[in-house]
Amino acid sequence: MITAASSLVPANISSSLEDYLETIYLLVQQQGFARVKEIAHAREVKAASVSVALRRLAELDLVRYERREYIALTEQGEEAARKVLTRHRLLTRFFEEVLQMPADAASNQACAMEHSLTDEAMDRFVRFFEYLGSCPTVIESFRRCPLSLAPDKAAARKDSNCATCRAHSKVETMSLADLRPGQHGVVEHINAKGALRQRLLDMGMLPQTPIELERAGLGGDPLWIRCQGARLALRRAEASSIAIRQLP
Amino acid sequence: MITAASSLVPANISSSLEDYLETIYLLVQQQGFARVKEIAHAREVKAASVSVALRRLAELDLVRYERREYIALTEQGEEAARKVLTRHRLLTRFFEEVLQMPADAASNQACAMEHSLTDEAMDRFVRFFEYLGSCPTVIESFRRCPLSLAPDKAAARKDSNCATCRAHSKVETMSLADLRPGQHGVVEHINAKGALRQRLLDMGMLPQTPIELERAGLGGDPLWIRCQGARLALRRAEASSIAIRQLP
DNA sequence: ATCTGTTGTTAGATAACACTAACAATGATT
DNA sequence: AATCATTGTTAGTGTTATCTAACAACAGAT
């Protein structure tokens, strides 16, 4: 039985061991027990590795484990497992409900991050969710806003109820290609799709990033851009997919 | 010089090596060059470790490195470094601007996660930021909403401009302590502070989580709760800090 | 009771990453 | 030019986590 009083769980546990705890917790919850073979299967690891890990977990008093017997978490182990799982749930929900990722991708991303989410960040995430719970229109509005989501299906543009979006669509936006050599701007929106979009993002061209058109090639086609200290060359067509706000 | 065409950067590079690339990139940007000693200092690692890492990076063609000479990134190395740094910037901004964390904590959290952010998740984050850029009132509203943020300083409650918040404050909310044995609910808001709050969250008591009051102790004081498959005992005072919506 | 297939364990190898300690190169100072 | 302090390298150790291959225990079937 668990109380709300704090208990002493070993603080520095590796993400690998945390994964084992998580797996064991889920198996026990699903079928009442966990066995080496199943843990190995779930973690996509050989049974030998599980065996070793279990010994380490037992030494840390996180798992109760008689050789060749069924495996159970100790109170501490259960607490640690629940903590990781809660982070997993939280992050999955964020990637799925807020960022609108498909369920499996969201869960995978959560898996990779659940071990490094600090208590403080966790708390902030929760507050954010509490806020969204009180004001559900916020995310609903994001979901509908074709400006931001709906990567390829700009078709759904009609049913946006985001006032600023509507306003925005009227404002004449300029693109990176509209700058003249030496002029500066700030990235507002990357309209490129697929690989080009990913390339531009990777290079550092995030929203709100300062950007400069250094010079244009002969005939104005390769545009030489400066962004985050790096220089790169873009085709004019590519540059015009980057919506910016000009700086003086 | 970099073009928007895709280049072949070794895909599976460890987070440790990514950190080295990042550090080198920043040092070169700051002072024009990087040396072993400085890298070691920045990464809080001994010089010997840096030396070995540099050899590995050179083998991977990410770093150009003549023994005892200054260190420079190759084109590929620079690309990889910029990619990591962009993720760092993106996550830092998210934790700082959206989740309202202090700058250093935001950056630290970003450090821990930057290596595992998938391209897809990155893209979704960017779309989210693009949306927020178009509709800045959204986050402004979150920032002001005392329901969610302002952990201890509920004093600032007056200047919230969130319509739903105002509505919410009028709705009579019930707490976990108002349930009767056997009744179910859904967590809406955890009003507890400090360690208790963290404990409850760690146990899995996130917003929107189903919860049940199993039974009350003698005199009604320890309340036995079921949450996410786990049982726990809460004082009545503690339970009443958990706002819920009752389920039929 | 023994045989056989499944399951779990051990031992030994490998890889990545960090460390300490000893050594080598370099540049600056006397 | 010789010396010294700084800087970087190498060699050897330890830890964590994985693997393969060989071995041990058990359960059920013959």
At B34-55, the pLDDT tens digits run: 999 999 999 999 999 999 999 9
Query: What is the model's pLDDT at position A176?
Result: 92
Confidence of residue B182 (pLDDT cuts 50, 70, 90): very high
- Burial group, residue B183, by CB count within 10 angstroms (0-12, 13-18, 19+): middle
pLDDT at A70: 81
Q: B208 and B224 in contact (C-beta within 8 Å)?
A: no
Strand D reaches within 7 A of the A51 CB: no
Min Cα–Cα distance to chain B from A7, Å: 10
Say how many CB pairs under 8 Å bridge A and B.
Answer: 249
Query: Of A181, A110, A202, which Cα lies nearest the Cα of B119?
Result: A202
Report, as an integer, the average pLDDT of B78-96: 96
Q: What confidence category does residue B154 fall into, taking pLDDT thresholds of 50, 70 and 90?
A: very low
CA-based nearest residue to A19, from A91, A117, A111:
A111
User: Rounded to an integer, what distance in angstroms lies between the CA atom of residue B214 and that of residue B216?
Assistant: 7
pTM: 0.88
CB-based contact A127:B98 (threshold 8 Å):
no
Distance between CA atoms of residues A95 and A109, nearest Å: 8
A239 → chain B, closest CA residue: B4
Q: Reply yes or no on whether the pLDDT at B155 is more than 50.
A: no
CATH 1.10.10.10 domain span(s) along chain A: 9-126
CB A83 within 8 Å of CB B202? yes
Map chain A to HEC letters: CEECCCCCCCCCCCHHHHHHHHHHHHHHHHHCCECHHHHHHHHCCCHHHHHHHHHHHHHCCCEEECCCCCEEECHHHHHHHHHHHHHHHHHHHHHHHHCCCCHHHHHHHHHHHHHHCCHHHHHHHHHHHHHHHHCCHHHHHHHHCCCCCCCCCHHHHHHCCCHHHHHHHHCCCEEHHHCCCCCEEEEEEECCCHHHHHHHHHCCCCCCCEEEEEEECHHHCCEEEEECCEEEEECHHHHCCEEEEEEC
**Which residue from A1, A90, A197 is facing B206, i.e. has the nearest CB?**
A90
A66 token code pair: 């008689």
Whether the Cβ atoms of residue B83 and residue B94 lie closer than 8 Å to each other: no
Among B25, B92, B130, most A C-beta atoms within 10 A, so best to mutate, is B130
Contact A133 B188 (CB under 8 A): yes
Within 8 A by CB and 6+ apart from A54, the residues are A20, A36, A63, A65, A71
What Å value separates CA A37 and C1' C7? 7
The arithmetic mean of pLDDT across residues B159-183, rounded, is: 70
B131 to A149: CB separation less than 8 angstroms, yes or no: yes
Q: What is the pLDDT of residue B99?
A: 92
Q: Which nucleotides of strand D lie within 7 A of protein CB? A: 7-12, 16-22, 25-26
Q: What is the CATH number of domain A9-126?
A: 1.10.10.10
Domain with CATH 2.30.30.90 in chain B: 174-247
> What is the tens place of the pLDDT at every residue in B204-214?
999 999 999 99
Any strand C atom closer than 7 Å to A52 CB:
yes
Q: Considering all nucleic acid strands, name the nucleotide whose C1' atom is nearest to the C-alpha of residue A53.
A: D17
Mean local confidence (pLDDT), B234-246: 91
Query: What is the token pair recorded at B25?
Result: 């990139």
Of A119, A136, A207, Cβ closest to residue B133:
A207
Q: Which nucleotides of C are covered by protein (CB under 7 A)?
A: 7-12, 16-22, 25-26
Per-residue pLDDT of chain A (248 residues; tens, 9 = 90+): 555 554 556 668 999 999 999 999 999 999 888 999 999 999 999 999 999 999 999 999 999 987 667 899 999 999 999 999 999 999 999 999 999 999 999 999 999 999 999 999 999 999 999 888 877 677 777 777 665 554 444 444 444 555 555 555 555 579 999 999 999 999 999 988 889 999 999 999 999 999 999 988 888 789 999 999 889 899 998 999 999 999 88
Please report the pLDDT score of residue A52 as a whole number.
Answer: 95
CATH class of B15-80: mainly alpha
Between CA B155 and CA A93 the distance in angstroms is: 30
The CATH T-level fold of domain B174-247 is SH3 type barrels. (2.30.30)
Give me the torsion for CA of A118, A124, A129, A131, rounded to 10°: 170
Choose among A133, A117, A101, A172: nearest CA to B128: A101
Query: Is the Cβ atom of B48 within 7 Å of strand C at any atom?
Result: yes
Which residues 51-80 of B interface with strand D at a CB distance below 7 A?
A: 51-52, 54-55, 67-68
Q: Given an 8 Å threshold on Cβ–Cβ distance, is A229 in contact with B29?
A: yes
